[in-house]
Amino acid sequence: MDRGSHGASARFGLILLALFALATAALGIAPRYRQDWLLENIVVLVAVPLLVTGWRRLRFSRGAYLALFVFLLLHEVGAHYTYSEVPYDEAFARLTGHSLNGLLGLHRNHFDRAVHFLYGVLVTPMAVELFAHRAPPRGIWRWILPVCFVMSHSVVYELVEWLAALRFGGDLGTAYLGTQGDPWDAQQDMALAALGSVLSMTVLALRAGRARAD
pLDDT tens readout for residues 20-35 = 999 999 999 999 999 9
CA-to-CA separations, 171 to 26, 56, 129, 139, 189, in angstroms, rounded? 24, 42, 39, 48, 21
In this prediction, residue 69 carries a pLDDT of 98
Alpha carbons 49 and 210: distance in angstroms, whole number = 35
Alpha carbons 142 and 60: distance in angstroms, whole number = 17
Instruction: For the chain, list residues with pLDDT below 50.
Output: 1-5
Alpha carbons 127 and 147: distance in angstroms, whole number = 8
Would you kindly state where each structural domain of the chain is located, as residue ranges?
10-213
In this prediction, residue 20 carries a pLDDT of 98
Alpha carbons 157 and 55: distance in angstroms, whole number = 25
Alpha carbons 47 and 195: distance in angstroms, whole number = 23
Alpha carbons 47 and 7: distance in angstroms, whole number = 18
Q: What DSSP string describes 178-201?
A: --TT-TTHHHHHHHHHHHHHHHHH
In this prediction, residue 204 carries a pLDDT of 92
CA atoms within 13 A on the CB side of 133: 18
* Distance, first Cα to last Cα, the chain: 33
In this prediction, residue 162 carries a pLDDT of 83
In this prediction, residue 111 carries a pLDDT of 95
